[in-house]
């Protein structure tokens, strides 16, 4: 029973993590604030907030994928030890 809980929790965490990464992108992407460009406007505070938000949710998605994978590995090890 415990292995099943870990497996389902891992699948849900991984699914949510993948969906977050599809929506917000990888957390190490280049910020879209045009700093240093001669032809673009200076970044506004709204641009900076948007980049922080995307970076935060990108990291949350990446961490959820790792935690989901670890939960599935734990489930596999628990089910193997019961056999």
**pLDDT tens-place values along the chain, 83 residues long:** 789 999 999 999 999 999 999 999 888 766 565 556 666 677 788 888 988 899 999 999 999 999 999 999 999 999 887 65
CA distance to 57, 64, 72, 76, per residue, from 9 (Å): 19, 11, 8, 13
DSSP state of 33: S
Burial class (CB in 10 A: 0-12, 13-18, 19+), 45: exposed
pLDDT value of residue 45: 87
pLDDT value of residue 26: 86
The number of angstroms, rounded, from the C-alpha of 21 to the middle of its chain's C-alpha atoms is: 5
């Amino acid at each position: 029973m415990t292995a099943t809980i870990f497996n389902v929790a891992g699948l849900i965490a991984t699914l949510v993590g993948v969906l977050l990464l599809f929506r917000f992108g990888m957390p190490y992407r280049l910020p879209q604030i045009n700093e240093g460009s001669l032809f673009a406007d200076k970044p506004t505070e709204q641009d900076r907030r948007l980049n922080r938000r995307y970076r935060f949710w990108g990291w949350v998605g990446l961490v959820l994928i790792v935690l989901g994978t670890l939960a599935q590995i734990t489930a596999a090890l628990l089910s193997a030890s019961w056999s």
